[in-house]
Amino acid sequence: MTFHSILFETPEDRPSGNQAGEPDFFGDLNLDQMVAEATRGYAEYDLASFFYTPLSRVGAIVYRHEIMRDLENPVVHDSVKLLTDGMRKMRALRAEGEKLYYSLQKQWWFLESTIAYSMTLGTFARELHACEPRSKGFREFLQHLTSYLASEAFQALVRDADDVKRELASIQYCTLVKGSTVTVRRYDSESDYSAKVLGIFDRFKLGATKERCEAVREQPQMNHVEAQVLQFVARLSPQPFSKLAAFHEQHADYLDATIATFDREIQFYLAYGAYVGPCREQGLEFSYPLVTDTSKAAHCDETYDLVLAHKLATDNARVVCNGLHLNEGEHLLIVSGPNNGGKTTFARMFGQLHYLTRLGCPVPGHNARLFLCNALFTHFEREESTKDMRGKLRDDLYRMHGILTQATSDSVIIMNEIFSSTTLADALFLSKRIIGQIIELGALCVCVTFIEELARLSGEAVSMVSEIDPAAPEIRTYRIRRRDAGSEAYAMSIARHYGLTYDRLKERLGL
């Protein structure tokens, strides 16, 4: 089977048209922060567009899962790093040569880039073959690479490069410097004066001494004297330099397009792996979800907000994990509880889980089973804008109308504290109408709200509540539990803490 891409199993999986832009919901889910951090240091590969392009087929997701599992093998990972480092060196040599002024020097740097290219591919092919990768993507790429290395085009590249390099290395010449005059002539078995000079001064050595010289990076640019010397050498030995010029012309397009694409696309996996590295080092789990496009039942144990966890893990801070469990027929999560209890973080986590699933990446947590949604929509609080001249309530309604117009039964909708700018009665009325439409639509939805009655609207709704420490109500546990909403329990715990229960007040008043 013809290898197509290490990111997209089939040509149909690759998006057509213009490069994808950042999805609207990225800022709400903090995924923009994830992409910015994950792609730091990968600017030359333009990886952001890959993070903006989710998959829509279960098979395409499994294809990426297999590749990421292979990359968890340190031997496979190291062999891929060898390839990417070698390709980066090849590009650097070629780019450096293109910046130079003198044609002979440009041609030499081009030759060096082809040698780096051929050596890198040969070594990578041997190492990857020894790794025996299991994924379809790596196996098919290895077949392509093996076929390419055996092709006449590649063999000619290696053969011609070795021939030119050998002839250039065999050139010998003499230079005579007298005052401001430099003379270049053919080598005629003259003595090597440099060896004689070193021999004379060798007698003055007093033993091992500390090296006090600083390494100075040699600049690739030649000055005009060096360029003239090179021109004279080329006149004295024209054949090697003629071959060098012919090599540059014949192999100008030596880079295989499929290998170049692989080199760019494999960086997506390396970048994500590096991003989640600090979390794994802190003992946080990741798993490859069982993905389905038929069942909306969702499950993931010990999961968490990846972006927040990355920040906390980097600072060696503790990460609180939560469980996610939706049975068949349950489409709506109503999350309530005290402020600053982790409700919004839970909503972000839900959205991140489903988007990372569509990217084919391992997700935070374990025992994950998730639905492959076709789109993701978020409605988080926005500051009022003077540009559109809409009030906050009107803006909430305007944005929700847009979401409900686009969403389908296979979509995921996340609402965070909607209608907080209006009265409780109005917020309850509007929320019931919108929740009713979402239930009728059949989309998966998370609604963070202070209106607990919404959890009792339908049998499809599930109530989840952010918990507090019973002994100290002001302390948030950041645990979100599946249980009936009840602000009375939270109010009573605060009243007990401050001695404001009915019995305690009577006692204090002496009644």
Q: pLDDT tens for residues 5-59? A: 999 999 999 988 767 799 999 999 999 999 999 999 999 999 999 999 999 999 9
Residues 6+ apart with CB under 8 A from 389: none
Q: What is the pTM of this model?
A: 0.88
Query: Which pLDDT value is given to residue 212?
Result: 63
DSSP state for residue 11 in the 8-state scheme: G
Residue pair 349/305 in contact (Cβ under 8 Å)? The answer is yes
Query: Which pLDDT value is given to residue 195?
Result: 78
Name the token pair of 182: 């430099």
Q: Do the bridges between strand 366-371 and strand 375-379 make them parallel or antiparallel, or are there none, so unpaired?
A: unpaired
Question: Domains of the chain (ranges plus CATH)?
Answer: 55-168+253-266 (no CATH), 172-202+222-236 (no CATH), 282-509 (3.40.50.300)
DSSP state for residue 20 in the 8-state scheme: P
3-state SS, one letter per residue, for 438-487? HHHHCCEEEEECCCHHHHHCCCCEEEEEEEEECCEEEEEEEEEEECCCCH
Q: Report which of 490, 493, 481 is spatially closest to residue 335, judged by C-alpha positions.
A: 481
Residues 6+ apart with CB under 8 A from 264: 45, 46
* DSSP assignment of 160-222: HHHHHHHHHHT--EEEEEETTEEEEEE--S---HHHHHHHHHHTT--S-----PPP-PPPS--
Query: pLDDT tens per residue, the chain (511 residues)?
Result: 689 999 999 999 998 876 779 999 999 999 999 999 999 999 999 999 999 999 999 999 999 999 999 999 999 999 999 999 999 999 999 999 999 889 999 999 999 999 999 999 999 999 999 999 999 999 999 999 999 999 999 999 999 999 999 999 999 988 888 888 888 888 887 777 777 888 888 877 766 666 666 655 666 778 888 888 888 889 999 999 999 999 999 999 999 999 999 999 999 999 999 999 999 999 999 999 999 999 999 999 999 999 999 999 999 999 999 999 999 999 999 998 888 889 999 999 999 999 999 999 999 999 999 999 999 999 998 765 545 545 788 888 999 999 999 999 999 999 998 887 778 888 888 989 999 999 999 999 999 988 878 888 888 889 999 888 777 766 788 899 988 876 555 566 666 666 777 777 777 777 7
